[in-house]
Chain A
Amino acid sequence: MEHTINVNLKIWRQRGPKEPGSFQTYRVENVSTGSSFLEMLDMLNQQLVDRNEEPVVFDSDCREGICGMCSLYINGHPHGPVQGITTCQLHMRKFNNEDTITIEPWRSAAFPVIRDLMVNRNAFDQIQQAGGYVSFNCGGAPDANNLPISKEVADVAMDSATCIGCGACVAACKNGSAMLFVSAKVSQFALLPQGQVERARRARAMVRKMDELGFGNCTNTGACAAECPKNIPLSNIARLNREFVKAKFAD
């Protein structure tokens, strides 16, 4: 059954990308274990506002694990200690009374801090703009069933396409690599027939953009897949490597 707990928080506060940050400690009492982690932070912010202090800034929108807006490095894990979920899906029943919880922003050169726990992930958009699409203008598409795709292929493509672009993979990686993110989109289109025409060009363009934006190299540690809230498998990275090498040979 649900009950209430008290928690101590160590939260990273930072005014802007170029300003120094530091941990501040806070305490929140009487948190229902049925509350979500972000609702607990809402409670903290209400306390701060009541004292005329500025609230802790963090990103969150859908609060059901699909928009990819929320982030947070909680007790050393992107999206917290529970595997396969986003921070907004984490519930306070996973913590004990009087726990001390450390909350940091994503830390990566490619994701500068905007304020406190909010970071700038525009680099992800730029990678997608480099080639994460099928070049097809609206209108004139043939009947959808003219292109049969086996269920197995469609399902694997769907598993890759399920990436929410949150950046946990980059935050988890000791090198700050975006390989899992890039490989998910490259895999979706490499698997599906619609993506074949631009297959080589896409892999090349997206990898080049990733390198240009200051993401680190992949050393196959696998922390990205282990911490991915959507369980995007590591096999995507192997596929991306193959795609990239094939594209190179095609040059």
Chain B
Amino acid sequence: MADNKNLEGMIDSTPIMKDYADIESSKLPEYQIDSKIPEGPLAQKWTNYKAHQKLVNPANKRNLDVIVVGTGLAGASAASTLGELGFNVLNFCIQDSPRRAHSIAAQGGINAAKDYQNDGDSVYRLFYDTIKGGDFRSREANVYRLAEVSNNIIDQCVAQGVPFAREYGGLLANRSFGGAQVSRTFYAKGQTGQQLLLGAYASLNRQIKKGTVKSFNRREMLDVVIIDGRARGIIVRNLVTGEIERYAAHAVVLATGGYGRAFFLSTNAMGCNGSAAVQAFKKGAYLANLAFTQIHPTCIPVHGEDQSKLTLMSESLRNDGRIWVPKKKEDAEAIRAGKKKPTDIPDEDRDFYLERRYPAFGNLCPRDIASRAAKERCDAGFGVGTGNAVYLDFKYAINRLGEDVVRDRYGNLFDMYQMISDDNPYETPMMIFPASHYTMGGIWVDYELQTSIKGLFAIGECNFSDHGANRLGASALMQGLADGYFVIPYTMQNYLSDQIKVPHFTTDAKEFDEAEKAVRARIEKLMNIKGTKSPDQIHKRLGHVMWDLVGMGRTLQSLVKALDEIEEVRKEFYTDLRVVGRADDLNTELEKALRLEDFLVIAKMMAIDALNRNESCGAHFREEYQLADGEAARNDKDYMYVSCWKYTGDNEKPVLLKEPLNYTEIKVQTRNYKS
């Protein structure tokens, strides 16, 4: 959206791209993408789809097997709902119980267009806010459907007994999140993800008891098995015994979450990984929009090299907290040197930079903008703490509402902060800094959430579909549950309807033999490197490369450098990795090594995708492409497409495919959170 004046003199990385990827083939007919968006006006598409899709009758459902990998909000809700419908479901997770999936850690809330607050909300407005928040890089029809089913999710969860926060009158309470001017976020203290996941887990348990779902814990998928062009099973490693196991089904659903741990330090759980996405990629599924990684603005800053993960402080804190840094550089320096305390700085010497730059949305501007603004202040020398931190201050809310009200709203978050930082946020402002949190990019899916491999579906964070270049707060839970409860149970039937004559698969097929052989060879290879570096040591090195060069601000130079350095890390991995223990045994080091090998693939694809996108949009900020006021310079003429990458071989260039984004019902505009 930049005017031409601003685009002048910018560097186009397209010629350099050709060294890393085949970007010309996207014009060839065999690389055209069909996103299967139904006919009709936007608001009618999902209704029309449901009215005309093919169904599977109850007697036939019993004869169809579905594998669901993952038990987070998307995986658990899909597995339980498919089980309720009568399919035979096989459900896998890497943790010791389905209830541990990382959705459990989501704090703030879940959006829905209920308009219970009578503040002007509607399905259209939720749809529009989501598209706009995503900087016009998401698929219109998917996002509209998401907004449409959002209300069903709240109804469903209340019926399950999810204890959402309520008003004294007994009705559901709401709060506000970034990127919206209405209050549409439903919540359960700072533990919304936990309560929604336990709701889905309860439904899942009911199906497990009924026998429609079989649950496999401590199992990690290591490959997807393709027979005659269709996904027909998976190869998994039993994490307790080290055995390699085979499972067959008529269709496979991936609900394996995001790959944010490519940065090593992130808010993701220790086990979160991008391996299923990489396995699907290597079997022919496209990976899309990998440049779009959400760097969440309010996390507890890094304390040292031995740190294993970063902790998020919920976005809901921005409802009442005010973000600032000192106005004067000497104050910032004095604070960093320990000579001044934040409480020593009078209000007039505080720079509430979000309120200053974005008066209309203030502290509640979207995450990408808030993160970048924090980085800008810290890079300019106004950071506090180690220099990479800003303040989130509740003094004003406590003065306005009283400490009790603030405690009631955020008590558990304040306790969590104090536990980690040893500071009392009721008395001194919190210190926060952005961290890798969520990946908008992921496995490409069509409107039916089917990947480019027949019978292989991807739902929740692991697909790319709904958040464009930036996800709004409280929309991840919404998408996970929308996909699992309300989308895949329908669209799956459209696929399975012509599979009813296909008998139950066995795992004796030669394709299973080959896939298992390849998995064993891969493990053998890693065990036999016998170098000197642990997987964590190499992963940390990769993390530094990704954070420094493919992080919040990227440039042509940084991305080219990143690709070189990722290659160096890859070499180190294959020549100097040490995996202690045995392969056919419980081996946590081997688990880490296998995941890291896949992170190396994802990391490279993230850098390539970022290099290809010669524009700034949402979370993808190419420093060459900014307007005079520092805002993102989007280029709709050349980049209003989903960048999809097709694997062609470990040492071959991936092929770029483009899915054009056509907006029929909205006017594409420059994102404006100022007025």
Contacts and interface: CB of A to CB of B under 8 A. Distances in A.
A227 B547 CA distance: 39
Contact of A68 (B100, B306, B312, B486): B100
Contact of A91 (B100, B419, B486): B419
Q: How extensive is the interface on chain A, given as a class?
A: 35 or more
Given A61-B269, A138-B489, A151-B166, A125 B97 contact: yes
B578 interface: yes
A227 to B, nearest CB: 17
Contacts of B171: 145, 148
B159 A61 contact: no
Contacts, number: 214
Given A34-B303, A55-B588, A128-B205, A150 B166 contact: yes
A179 B428 CA distance: 40
A52 interface: yes
A251 interface: no
The interface centre, meaning the residue of A2, A158, A188 with most chain B CB atoms within 10 A of its CB, is A158
Interface stretch (B132-140, B196-204, B225-233, B284-292): B196-204
A158 B163 contact: yes
Interface in A99-138: 114-115, 118, 120-122, 124-125, 128-130, 132-138
A98 interface: no
Contact of B269 (A63, A192, A195): A63
Interface in A148-184: 148-151, 154-155, 157-158, 161-162, 164-165
Contacts of A145: 114, 116, 171-172
Interface residues of B, number: 80
A36 interface: yes
Contacts of B580: 48-49, 52-55
Interface stretch (A5-13, A38-46, A217-225, A235-243): A38-46
Given A32-B304, A149-B170, A93 B422 contact: yes
A139 B157 CA distance: 10
A142 interface: yes
Contacts of B159: 134, 136, 141-142, 194
Interface string B190-227: 01011100100111011011000001010000000000
B480 to A, nearest CB: 14
A67 interface: yes
A148 B84 contact: no
Contacts of A138: 77, 80-81, 84, 156, 203, 485-486, 489
Nearest to A61: B269
A134 B152 CA distance: 17
A64 B188 CA distance: 17
A161 B486 CA distance: 25
B536 A42 contact: yes
A54 B581 contact: yes
A145 B157 CA distance: 12
Interface in A12-68: 31-32, 34-36, 38-39, 42-43, 46, 48-50, 52-55, 57, 59-68
Given A64-B105, A133-B203, A133-B206, A165 B97 contact: yes
A61 B198 contact: no
Interface centre among B209, B270, B581, by most chain A C-beta atoms within 10 angstroms, is: B270
Contact of B308 (A2, A36, A55, A124): A36
Given A39-B308, A125-B97, A66 B191 contact: yes
B95 interface: yes
Given A42-B536, A55-B589, A65 B99 contact: no
Nearest to B99: A165
B154 to A, nearest CB: 5
Contacts of B102: 61-62, 67
B43 interface: no
A132 B157 CA distance: 15
B436 to A, nearest CB: 15
A189 interface: yes
Contacts of B158: 141, 144, 147, 194
Contacts of A87: none
B307 interface: yes
Contacts of B668: none
B96 interface: yes
Contact of B170 (A35, A46, A115, A148): A148
Contacts of A136: 159-160, 203
Contact of A64 (B208, B217, B416): B416
A224 to B, nearest CB: 19
Contacts of B81: 138
A149 B156 CA distance: 16
Contact of B188 (A50, A151, A158): A158
B167 interface: yes
A200 interface: no
A139 B306 CA distance: 47
Contacts of A93: 422
Interface string A57-88: 10111111111110000000000000011000
Contacts of A57: 586, 588
B120 interface: no
B104 A141 contact: no
Given A34-B303, A61-B270, A89 B416 contact: yes
A65 B412 CA distance: 11
Given A67-B102, A142-B159, A39 B306 contact: yes
Nearest to B101: A67
A189 B252 CA distance: 34
A121 B193 CA distance: 22
A63 B270 contact: yes
A124 to B, nearest CB: 7
Interface in B148-193: 152, 154-161, 163-172, 188-189, 191, 193
Contact of B167 (A63, A68, A151): A151
Interface string B301-342: 001101111011000000000000000000000000000000
Contacts of B116: 145
Nearest to B81: A138
Interface in B397-420: 415-416, 419-420
A155 B187 CA distance: 12
Interface of B: 77, 80-81, 84, 95-102, 104-105, 114, 116, 152, 154-161, 163-172, 188-189, 191, 193-195, 198, 201-203, 205-206, 208-209, 215, 217, 240, 269-271, 303-304, 306-309, 311-312, 415-416, 419-420, 422, 485-486, 489, 534, 536-537, 578, 580-581, 586, 588-589
Given A65-B416, A118-B586, 14 more contacts: A35-B303, A35-B307, A46-B537, A50-B534, A68-B104, A69-B95, A89-B419, A125-B217, A137-B84, A138-B203, A145-B171, A149-B170, A150-B170, A162-B194
Which 4 pairs of residues, A with B, have the shortest CB-CB distance? A148-B170, A133-B202, A141-B155, A141-B159
13 contacts: A39-B308, A50-B534, A54-B581, A62-B102, A62-B270, A64-B312, A130-B209, A133-B205, A141-B155, A148-B169, A150-B170, A154-B163, A194-B159
